[in-house]
Amino acid sequence: MAHKINWFDIPVTDMERAVGFYTNVLDLGIAEEFPGVSVFSHEEDEVAGCLFTSEDAKPSTNGILVYFNVDGRLQEAVDMVEDFGGNIEQGAHEIGNFGQRALVIDSEGNRIALHSV
């Protein structure tokens, strides 16, 4: 079955800082594809996305909320957020039958969810 979401772009203002945040908090690789665009490591059939810099798109806490799977290491990921320039908006909490999440602000000012079942 095809994924309804197949890509995402996350605007950043400081690529090096943002790569450090996401690489550590999500425990994954991110590679610069070309200047101003760094892509999350992924397999061919996985949903993925990138960090990008732009004069037009700016980080925001208002808008779509992207959930990142942290594979059973939710508290460990939350504990790293502030170390890598982010802020915790709402710590780990249950979301019914859907597992747990934490709402955080990344190092660039984007609101994201860290999720685990």
Q: Rounded to an integer, what is the distance from CA 50 to the centroid of its chain?
A: 10
Rounded Cα–Cα distance for residues 68 and 13 (Å) = 20
Rounded Cα–Cα distance for residues 111 and 51 (Å) = 14
Q: Determine the pLDDT at residue 15.
A: 97
Q: Determine the pLDDT at residue 2.
A: 63
Q: Determine the pLDDT at residue 1.
A: 47
Rounded Cα–Cα distance for residues 114 and 71 (Å) = 10
DSSP 65-109: -EEEE-TT-HHHHHHHHGGGT-EEEEEEEE-GGG-EEEEEE-TTS
Q: Determine the pLDDT at residue 86.
A: 98
Cα distances (angstroms) measured from residue 80 to each of 63, 75, 111: 24, 9, 15
The parts of the chain modelled with pLDDT lower than 50 are 1
Cα distances (angstroms) measured from residue 36 to each of 4, 55, 74, 77: 26, 11, 29, 25
Domains of the chain: 7-116 (3.10.180.10)
